Structure 1
Amino acid sequence: MNLEEFNVIVFVTGAIVGFAIALALKSITSKSTEKDSSSSSNAITIKSLQQELDKKQVIIDNFFSDSNEHLLTAEKRLAELRKNLSSGASQLSHIDIPASINSQSTNVVEEDITEPPRDYALKSDAEQGMLSEDFGLKNKPESVEPTRAI
């Protein structure tokens, strides 16, 4: 084989190996950039989720504050209606209707019926309580010598 042919073969082989290494490096770097972009897209996703959560929290807060305002106005209108009803009833008839609900309300006293817990052991004053140090301990006669069998 001639030296020139050998040089051409080495050159072509080197070019092919170099091209293969370049493709391998390109695929490795593209995979690492995809991982970086996916992690940054995850961060963007987390940020967007947090923003969406904040927006929904604001919407919920507005809903409850608006509902409270509507409820207060409805209570005011109801109080005015009761007042108008009582004044109209007193002018037109002999029926006395109180202007406010609070005057009609009766004082209901709830009896506090307490019973001891069902897992509580009742005792009389002379008995030991469960928290005493001797509770549940029984004195056994101590035998000085063990029993022996023949």
Structure 2
Amino acid sequence: MSTAVLAVRPGPTARPGAFAPAAPAPLTRALTRRLTRAERVPALAALALLPWLAVLAVCHETAWVVLDLFELAALLWLDALLRRRSPAVHLPAAAIALLLAGDALADIGTAGSGLPLLAALVMALGVELPLAVLCLALARGTRSAQS
């Protein structure tokens, strides 16, 4: 059924345009502004985490899968808030920083010696901790831009 049939035609008791659909509101500049490169990192990190989750699941590493699923959810939450320019960005950013720092510490603490320890240190210093710092910097930059 067409919505045109449901429209009220002006008559003696109806106001002209009383039931006409409202024109779509123009998008604000904040919503149309493109994301910066740094603001795209949480979504890209979440995407990069998916294959790693599959590897962990195949290896039956349930505890690590759960931790990385929390990281994935927090990264997607942060990405959604960054896209909406929400003032609540600092909450998921802090959650991500805490999860990533805990992940790095747990990786290093459970790694044993030799090559596994080196791999844990490289992941912690090259990926997890820099991503945690970037997320906190994004939250700080968003908060100062809104003030």
TM-score, structure 1 length as denominator? 0.23
Give 1 or 2 for the bigger CA radius of gyration.
1
Q: More helix per residue: 1 or 2?
A: 2
TM-score, structure 2 length as denominator? 0.24
